[in-house]
Structure 1
Amino acid sequence: MSGGGGVSIKSDDKKDEKPAAAMLPLKPTASPSSMETQSGGGYVKTNKQRRKRNCKICVCFSILLFLLIFIVILILAFTLFKPKRPVTTIDSISVDRLRASVNPLLLKVLLNLTLNVDLSLKNPNRVGFSYGSTSAHLNYRGQLIGEAPLAASRIAPRSTHPLNLTLTLMADRLLSESELLSDVMAGVIPLNTFVKVSGKVSVLKIFKIKVQSSSSCDLNISVSDRNVTSQHCKYSTKL
C-alpha cells in the first residue's frame, strides 16, 4: 500500500515469467539450384544409357543382317550359281598339207605336215568363263613337234566358243627320230594333239574359282591318202 490512496499491484515477476522455448536447429533445405543440378545430372546419365543401348542394338542388327546376306550369297553360289566345268572338245582334225619322202642313201625322211584342228570351248555356267593364253600342241610319240598359240578370251554364260587352229610340224625336231622312217614306210604316222585351257569362273563377282579343261586326241594319218584314218580323244576337266 502507498500514500495517496492509490493502489498498485506488483506482480511477481518470477512467478508469472514463463521459460522460453528451446530453439531447435533447423535442417538445411536444398536450394532450387542444387535440385535442378541433380535432376539435370540424372537426365544426362539416362540419355547416355539409352544411347549405349541403342548403339548395341544397331551393332547387333548390323551383324545379323550381314550374316544373313552372307548366308544367302553362299547358298546361291553353291546352288543356282554352282560352278560347272568348261569342256574343251576337238570337233575335227584334217590334213591341210602332207609331203613325205624318203632318202634311201641317207636313211632320212623329209616330212612336211600341216593340220587343221577345229575345237570348241563350252561354258555351261550361268556366269562368264575367262581363260588365259595357251597353246595347242602337236606331238609325235611323246615329243613336241608343233604348236599353235591360243589367245586369252572370255566365253559368255551357257555358250560355246568355236576355235580353228593350224598345227604345222617343225621338221627340225624330227631329224633324230629313227622310228619315223619305219612309220612312213608303213604308210601310217601316229600323232597326238593336246590342248589345255586354264581360267576362272567368277560367281556373283565375289567368288573366283579356278577351272581347267583339257583334251587329248590320238590320231593316225595315212601317208598315201593324206587324211586322218582314226581318231580317239580323251577329255578332262577339274575345278
Structure 2
Amino acid sequence: MSKPHRPPSGRTNIASCIVATIFLIFVVIIILIVFFTVFKPKDPKISVNSVQLPSFSVSNNTVNFTFSQYVSVKNPNRAVFSHYDSTLHLLYSSSQVGFLFIPAGKIDAGQTRNMAVTFSVDSFPLSASPDAAVHVGPAFNEGGGQPGFNNGFRVGPSMEIESRIQMAGRVRVLHFLTHHLETKVRCRVAIAVTDGSVLGFHC
C-alpha cells in the first residue's frame, strides 16, 4: 500500500520563494548592467563644418545676405534616432534676424547625417551700439596670426552674427524603452562688412 503524498511544508515554500526572488534580482542587475554599458542613450552630436554667405550687400547702413551652414549630426546610439522638426535661429546684436525649420527625419544607429541649410535673411540695420559687434579687426584670431590680420592680410570692419541649432527626438532601446534626447549648438560667425566673406567661426 502506497504512502499518502504529503503537501510541501511551509519552510519549503518560503525557500523556493527566496530562491526565485534572488534569481529575479540577479537577472534585473544583469539587464541594468548591459543597458547602462551598451544601450545607454546618448545625445546626438552636431558639428558645424562650414559657414558661407553666397550673397551679401550693404546699403545705407543696412545689410542683407543669404546664409548657408553645413552641419553633420552623429547618432552614437545603438538604435535609430528619430528627430522632430528642428530649428535654426540667426541672431545679430541679440536680436533674431533669421529663422528656419529643419524637417523631421531619422538617423540610423551609429551613422552620421550631413545637412545643408540655406535661406535668405531680410534686410536689417547695422547697429550703432558699442556691443553690436561691428568693429575693425577679426572677431576670431585663427591660425596664430596677429590681431587685425587674416592669413597675413589686413582685415577691415567686421560684424558678428550667431547661429543656434536645436534638435530634439527620441530613441527606442530594446524595442520598448523610449528615451527623449536633445542637443544644440551655438556658433559665432565673423563677417567682413566690405564683401561678406566669412573670417571665421567658433562653436
Q: TM-score range by the shorter chain?
A: 0.7 to 0.9
3-state SS, counterpart of residue 75 of structure 1? helix
Deviates more, 1:179-188 or 1:83-92: 179-188
Is 1:70 matched up with 2:22?
no
Q: Distance in 1 between matches of 2:191 and 2:126?
A: 20
Cα deviation 1:112-145 (Å, max 9, x = unaligned): 2111100111111222222221210111011111
Q: Distance in 2 between matches of 1:60 and 1:170?
A: 71
TM superposition score normalised by structure 1: 0.63
Q: Give the helix-richer structure, 1 or 2.
A: 1
The runs of 5 or more residues in structure 1 that have no matched partner are: 1-41, 103-108, 234-239
**Map of 2:175 onto structure 1:** 205
CA RMSD of aligned residues (A): 3.4
**Structure with bigger gyration radius:** 1
Is 1:149 matched up with 2:117?
no
Q: Give the strand-richer structure, 1 or 2.
A: 2
Sequence identity percentage: 24
* 1:210 shift after superposition: 3.0
3-state SS, counterpart of residue 46 of structure 2? strand
The runs of 5 or more residues in structure 2 that have no matched partner are: 137-155
* 1:217 shift after superposition: 0.8
Q: Are the equivalent residues in 2 in contact too, given 1:100–1:184 (CA < 8 A)?
A: no
Q: Which has the higher contact order (CA 8 A, sep 6+)?
A: 2
**Map of 2:37 onto structure 1:** 79
Q: Report the CA distance shift for 1:69/1:219 in structure 2 as closer, same or farther (over 3 A).
A: same
**Map of 2:54 onto structure 1:** 96
Q: Are the equivalent residues in 2 in contact too, given 1:87–1:123 (CA < 8 A)?
A: yes
Q: Are the equivalent residues in 2 in contact too, given 1:147–1:168 (CA < 8 A)?
A: no
**Map of 2:80 onto structure 1:** 128
Q: Distance in 1 between matches of 2:95 and 2:167?
A: 20
Q: Are the equivalent residues in 1 in contact too, given 2:170–2:178 (CA < 8 A)?
A: yes
Cα deviation 1:171-211 (Å, max 9, x = unaligned): 3xx35944499949973221111111122233223433332
Q: Are the equivalent residues in 1 in contact too, given 2:93–2:133 (CA < 8 A)?
A: no
Count residues in correspondence: 182
The aligned amino acid for 1:193 is S
* 1:83 shift after superposition: 2.5
